[in-house]
A = this chain, B = another copy of it.
Amino acid sequence: MLVVKVGGSKGIDYDAFVDDLASYKDFVLIHGGSHELNELSTRLGRPPRFVTSISGQTSRYTDLETLELFNMIYAGKMNKMLVEKFQQKGINAVGLSGLDGRLAEGRQKEALKIVEDGKKKILRGDHSGTIERINVQLLHLLLENGYTPVLTPPAISFEGTAINIDGDRFAAQVAVALGAETLIILSNVPGLLRDIEDPASLVQKISRDEVELSMNQFAKGRMKKKLMGAGEALAGGVRRVVLGSATGPSPVTRALQGEGTVIE
């Protein structure tokens, strides 16, 4: 069983990605959509707002109106685009969000502690949180009957409301829940870079013990969450995590061959 996360930053070649992944049959896909969401929000006169927590994590401020646009892009446009592409390749894909069948259940954050203009602030009205439980029975039900799950945020809170959750960590939890051997996390960068401006500074291999150190030393922005996801996957029994690029041909195959940052 292979668990793959793709997107949703700019520059991802979804056709090449689907072409490649479709040849692997036994997989579960988790996807993103942040670039498309930024574009739609901006077109509708509501540019995205990103906030930085006091621990240095950057995240999208997700009020109820943003959540509606979020569903439109993630569960609507991106999810059905991918399901359609897989169907054309003979993969019987079923697209689900974390809300459906309470597939990804978690806790909504009470309030965000952020840093803005150098000042600490409490920000309310943010509908985001952390997954605590994957409905692995629903995944098995689909897999055992020949369906391939194509999963997307949001998740669902224990109270039954939609919450924005990180897609990389969602993928990590799915990989753990399914007992996957390998988790591949594809984005628009070649992997973890020592210097974000220099693709040649790719870190090719890190051990499980080095994940936290790497997070603090090199990782910026979204890469921090990818490493956090990688760490959670390995801690949960996944043997190997590869951070690779989905901007060219055969991105899954290349990641499986070790192209990118391999963490094991």
Contact = CB atoms under 8 A, between A and B. Distances in A.
A156 interface: yes
Most B-side CB within 10 Å, residue of A76, A79, A83, A94: A76
Contacts of A43: 44
A8 interface: no
Interface stretch (A84-92, A169-177, A247-255): A84-92
Most B-side CB within 10 Å, residue of A93, A101, A102: A101
Contacts of A161: 84, 88
B84 A162 contact: yes
Question: How many chain copies does the complex carry?
Answer: 2
Interface string A58-88: 0000000000100111111101110110011
A100 interface: yes
A77 B71 contact: yes
Interface in A95-109: 95-97, 99-102
A257 interface: no
A100 B91 CA distance: 11
Contacts of A92: 101-102
A87 B156 contact: yes
Contacts of A95: 75, 96-97, 99-100
A14 interface: no
A147 interface: yes
Most B-side CB within 10 Å, residue of A83, A88, A102: A83
A94 to B, nearest CB: 5
Interface of A: 43-44, 68, 71-77, 79-81, 83-84, 87-88, 92-97, 99-102, 137-138, 141, 145, 147, 154, 156, 159-162
17 contacts: A68-B81, A72-B73, A72-B77, A75-B95, A76-B79, A80-B97, A80-B154, A83-B97, A83-B100, A87-B160, A88-B159, A92-B102, A94-B96, A94-B100, A95-B96, A96-B100, A141-B141
